[in-house]
Amino acid sequence: MKINHPIGITLAVLATLLFLSPSRAADITATGSGNWSSTVPDAPWPGGIVPGTNDSVDVEAPFVITVDADTTCAYLYGSGTVTLAPNVTLDILGDTVGAQGAQQLATLNATATGCTVNYHGNSFWAKRTDYYHLTFSGAGDFYNGAIPGSGAVPMNIAGNLLISGTNVAVQQGADITIGGNLSILGATNKWDTSSFYLTVGGNTTITGLRALLVDLDGALGSNYFTGSMTVGSSALAWNVSDVTQWALGGSLTNLGLIAGKGYGSIDFKGNGIITGNALKLPTITVSGTYEVRASITLTTNTPTLTGTLIFDLARTNQLTLQSYPTNPLTLYYDGALNVINTGAAPIAGNSYKFFNATNYDGSFVTTSFPTLAGGLSWADNLIAGGSIAVVGGPSGSPTLTYTVNGQTLTLSWDSGTYTGYRVIAQTNSSGIGATWSPTGSGTVSPYITTINPANPAVFYRLVKP
């Protein structure tokens, strides 16, 4: 019987594992300055061997390393400088125990146009500095306030800031200015906007699972979202507090839940549309120009209306000031009201309610309502009940005229002045009877049909339901 030697088997397996395994992570110390991808010895790497994906990199002064192509490393540290070239991406993985990043590197210059730094590990170890694009795709808390060995660091992100990881929390300890877009994606990520200033120059998107924009510590902060904001279907995506100032310069699309407490308010101070799911907030300010395409309920205080509110007759959205028996509230008008119509022409008797409150006061500085057909006018019932209504109408009735061209009969009437009329007909060889049928003419002149002299007589008339 042939028996294999155990030691031989062990050595063979070990050799195979060593052959198949990737190179082990190393700690690489730069020995000069130069481009990251350079293979020239000591310019910057010893022996010209470029650090691997899982290697940590030590850059000491006075050396400067330029990341000249898309690069991945474990983490960076040292007293030297790492500079990103335009349009490159530096992926920093962190170490195996969830620490390290670039915070222990003296200088990270990541502001070149189009360059991106993506932290895949613990966000706490991200360098607190300026960036062009910045991404948190890992986990953990990022804080740009004072920490041991460093004071607070105000940050400027020239491009976009993306949170795409899981359980990433950004806590401001100093101002943060984002020139591009802010995207909070991923799962259970949040941004605490209390304290200091957050300014977003582009659009803001909060669409991750249970992603949240919130005031966590009740400290006075001020946040201005210059562009539009989209709130996804998270359980609670935006929690509006009463000690942090919130302002929006573009449209708001609410596909999830926006809530507030105390006297929390959003100032709609730009130009845009409020649309999506119904909003329920303590109060709002409209100092810009906004079309209301979502129902809004205010629970604490009258809105501050110094801008322009736009309502569409074709929609049924209302701004409601919720009152309680022990605390009846008054909705105060101000600013401008612009009513537009993208639907059917209003007719006498139509009423449109835009505001719902127990009491109304104040007045709009200017109002603009859609043009009505002849003889109709608007009744302004805003103070009485938050609505406007169509009243009046032309005297008399329209005249039905006809022309015949061969076998084509054209019936015409003044449908601009006399709105709502339509053509009905009956066929009766013995004369006009009591039974009339619709023709499908609609309410806009003319009605054109084909006739046959050989058929029995057909009678036509106008009727208004």
Boundary (domain end) residue, out of 393, 416, 445: 393
What is the C-alpha to C-alpha distance for residues 312 and 294, in angstroms, rounded to an integer? 11
- Give the least confident one: 15-24, 332-341, 352-361, 446-455: 15-24
Query: Token pair for residue 426?
Result: 């009956």
- Please count the structural domains in the chain: 3
- 6 domain residue, yes or no: no
Position 54, amino acid: N
The distance from CA 338 to its chain's CA centroid, rounded to whole angstroms, is 24
Q: Is the domain of 287 the same as that of 430?
A: no
* Burial zone of 329 (CB within 10 Å; 0-12 exposed, 13-18 middle, 19+ buried): middle
8 A C-beta contact, residue 323 and residue 357: yes
Could you tell me the pLDDT band of residue 235, with boundaries at 50, 70 and 90?
low
Phi, psi of 358 (to 5 degrees): -75, -40
Q: Is the domain of 53 the same as that of 128?
A: yes
- pLDDT value for 353: 97
Q: 337 lies in which domain range?
A: 302-393
- 370 domain residue, yes or no: yes
8 A C-beta contact, residue 397 and residue 387: no
- 8 domain residue, yes or no: no
Q: Is the domain of 137 the same as that of 185?
A: yes
Of residues 222 and 366, more confidence is placed in: 366
216: pLDDT strictly greater than 70? no
Of residues 185 and 326, more confidence is placed in: 185
Q: Is the domain of 329 the same as that of 275?
A: no
Radius of gyration of the chain measured on its C-alpha atoms: 35
Q: Is the domain of 196 the same as that of 60?
A: yes
Q: Is the domain of 176 the same as that of 240?
A: yes
What is the C-alpha to C-alpha distance for residues 143 and 122, in angstroms, rounded to an integer? 12
- pLDDT value for 17: 35
Counting residues of the chain whose pLDDT is more than 90, the rounded percentage is: 68
Angle (CA) 378 381 383, round 5°: 145
Q: Is the domain of 138 the same as that of 283?
A: yes
- 410 domain residue, yes or no: yes
What is the C-alpha to C-alpha distance for residues 31 and 58, in angstroms, rounded to an integer? 10
Question: Which residues have C-beta within 8 Å of that of residue 435, sequence separation ≥ 6?
Answer: 426
Q: How far is CA 152 from CA 25, 80, 145, 147, 264, in A?
A: 33, 21, 4, 7, 27
pLDDT digits (tens, 9 = 90+) for 118-135: 999 999 999 999 999 999
- pLDDT value for 455: 83
Mean pLDDT of the chain: 89
Boundary (domain end) residue, out of 361, 393, 425: 393
- 1 domain residue, yes or no: no
pLDDT digits (tens, 9 = 90+) for 11-33: 333 333 333 334 568 999 999 99
Could you tell me the pLDDT band of residue 10, with boundaries at 50, 70 and 90?
very low
Of residues 314 and 455, more confidence is placed in: 314
The mean pLDDT of 286-290, rounded to a whole number, is 98
Q: Is the domain of 267 the same as that of 207?
A: yes
Which residue, 451, 286, 302, 460, is CA-closest to 386? 302
The mean pLDDT of 64-76, rounded to a whole number, is 98
pLDDT digits (tens, 9 = 90+) for 295-348: 999 999 999 999 999 999 999 899 999 988 778 899 999 999 999 999 999 999
Position 100, amino acid: Q
Boundary (domain end) residue, out of 291, 324, 353: 291
- Looking at the DSSP assignment, which residues form a beta bridge with residue 303? none
